[in-house]
Structure 1
Amino acid sequence: SLLPRWRGAAPIQRAVMAGDAETGVMVMKMEAGLDTGPVASQARVAIGPDATGGELHDTLSLLGADLMAEALAALARGELTFTPQREEGVTYAQKIDKAECRIDWRRPAHEAHDLVRGLSPFPGAFFESDFGHGVERVKVLQTQIAEGEGAPGVALDDKGLIACGEGALRLVKVQRGGKAPMAIDEFLRGRKLAQGQTLAA
């Protein structure tokens, strides 16, 4: 993360869930405090509107490796210097709680979209509903913000367009328990989603 923003356990997920426009990696000196140490170097990366936590993790891993190699080389030359973190703008990236993963369709579509992509692929945002085989939990791994109005959680068509508190979300990729991720059209070949059906959070 771009410290002091998102100190703690889940900085990548929190940045995406909050709708941040950018994040990054830093080389810092460890202190007794939680991610409070002075910083030697950093690399920034933009967070696209549809970027997922998993994609961002992979990008930052590569950036972090390069940044660490540069820092070690500077240390060997005796040229590595550190700058204290800013005191303003501190936020904490708390560990993701299971209760946070449940999609609240009452939220605006862009917030639900950010939740889905921040938690994709793990631990995964989810909802529960009966698609003709009893109530089951479905992870949502990819969505698109779409136009539409209706009561939150109600299907606006039979292809995965779900009304939110403001706007709507199109389900793109989902995952049933114990199954591989699949496109929504593949999922719906064996499941029934009727226009007007309500999805529980």
Structure 2
Amino acid sequence: MRLVFMGTPDFAVPALRALHRAGHEIVAVYSQPPRPAGRGKALRASPVQQAAETLGLPVRHPLSLRRNQEKWDAFAALGADAAVVAAYGLILPQPMLDAPRRGCLNIHASLLPRWRGASPIQSAILAGDTQSGVTIMQMEAGLDTGPMLLSHAVPITPHTTASTLHDALAELGADLILRVLAENPPPQPQPEAGVTYAPRLTRDDGRIDWAEDASAIDRRVRALTPWPGTFTTLEDGTVLKIGAAELVNDQATAPPGTVLDSRLNIACGHGVIRLTRLQRPGRGMMDASDFLRGQPLPPGTRLGASHPAPDHD
């Protein structure tokens, strides 16, 4: 089948590779332009662009698609049977949605209509959902409102992180889009009930509120690592990024945010959580035991003073 592929981050790469491996003719790959990255701020191509170039596929990266007849005409001239879209990052105008013979097919990382929007993976973990999944959707003008073609669920366990769920759903999305192209299942309207929206995340979403239940803090750490990352602060304003934590079967015996012992058990609004990986500014993420050798946090230390979100990697 003659395809256009549109995607940007790592999530989209397995689908691109699967389509190419299956023998589909990918006539163009659309991806976000290279962006400054790393401490040197050198321009870096997106994961999808890097994968496409490795496969020898032509890449286009327009800055915008709105009110641009020239870009619309160039897209239509590709004569695609379908466009496969996975976390591309730009809104497709109606002329582009209508151009391919089978329209534009979106690989969305949730069980629609739950978690339409920008952060479905993180939002599912934050909310305490017991399952997530992938939906292949026929795109229309609304935000993730189009009819569904195929979906499949995966469990969310107490140990699921955004990283592990991301990787599982990326591979699942690759499998499902191959099935949709081969089987052409009939579209089914999304249910009107159960619609939720996943907002775009910012660094400040990672701030830990120690007055929350330990279970909610655990979900926040699992949901927001690696992006945008979770953090807390010391009384002197030092920002500590939290890379991993685990629930402790105990009750808090001190105010929320208090370090309870040398194992970095922290009192929460209800329950206790243990910090197992941390990072201070200018250093890498490390296990708690290694961290404490360079930054002691004695029992009684209070975490969580209000300071700006960190900007270190």
TM superposition score normalised by structure 2:
0.60
Q: CA deviation at 1:50?
A: 1.7
Q: CA deviation at 1:98?
A: 2.5
Q: CA deviation at 1:178?
A: 4.0
Of the two structures, which has the highest relative contact order with CA contacts closer than 8 Å and spacing of 6 or more?
1
**Equivalent runs, 1:50-199 vs 2, <5 Å:** 50-75=159-184, 80-129=185-234, 135-146=237-248, 147-149=250-252, 150-199=254-303
Alignment pair present for 1:47 and 2:156: yes
Number of the residue aligned with 1:32: 141
Equivalent residue for 1:7, pick from 111, 116, 120: 116
Q: Which one is further off, 62-71 or 138-147?
A: 138-147
Q: CA deviation at 1:73?
A: 1.1
Report runs of 4+ in structure 1 exceeding 3 Å deviation: none
Unmatched 5+ stretches in structure 1:
none
Q: CA deviation at 1:197?
A: 0.8
8 Å CA contact 2:205, 2:228 repeated in 1: no
Percent identity at matched positions? 45
Q: CA deviation at 1:181?
A: 2.0
- Distance in 2 between residues matched to 1:190 and 1:5, nearest whole Å: 44
8 Å CA contact 1:148, 1:156 repeated in 2: no
8 Å CA contact 2:257, 2:304 repeated in 1: yes
Q: CA deviation at 1:182?
A: 1.2
8 Å CA contact 1:159, 1:188 repeated in 2: no
* Count of residue pairs brought into register by the alignment: 194
In structure 1, give the amino acid aligned to 2:238.
E
Q: What do you get for the CA RMSD once the two structures are aligned?
A: 1.3
Residues 142-171 of structure 1 show CA distances to partners (whole Å, capped at 9, x for unaligned) of 111111312100001022100000001100
If you compute each CA radius of gyration, which structure gives the higher value, 1 or 2? 2
Q: CA deviation at 1:135?
A: 3.5
